[in-house]
Amino acid sequence: MKSSIKAALISALVYPGAGHLYLKKYLAAAIIIIVASVALFIILSNAVTTAQFVSDKIASGEIGADVTAISEAVTLQLATESQSIANATIAIGLAWLFGIIDSFRIGMKKENN
């Protein structure tokens, strides 16, 4: 398999920046991995915060233990953090897409030399 395709697949299927590691482009890999990791941390942190908030409300009796009440509480909590989650989602998507395309481009350049 060509190194360009292998690098693109590694970036697509493993983690953003992994294809750059395969191609020994460590600085680009580090930048992509850091961007993707920070974005993923923001998304997961918001999910955990929301789950903790809702579970505390359920435990205190402020929210009933039915699906509708829980769904409404989650929706209200996420509405306050929607911009940071949206930005983080865009950042991880762009990092992933850039990692795939750029690792393929670098792989093609290496193959042609």
Q: pLDDT tens across 31-76, in order?
A: 999 999 999 999 999 889 888 988 888 888 888 778 888 888 888 8
Mean per-residue pLDDT for 13-29? 96
Reduced to 3 states (helix: H, G, I; strand: E, B; else coil), residue 51 is helix
Whole-model pTM over 0.75: yes
Of the pLDDT bands very low, low, confident and very high (cuts 50, 70, 90), residue 29 is: very high
Distances (CA, A) of 1 to 5, 8, 73: 7, 11, 50
95, 112, 77: which is closest to 16 by C-alpha?
Answer: 95
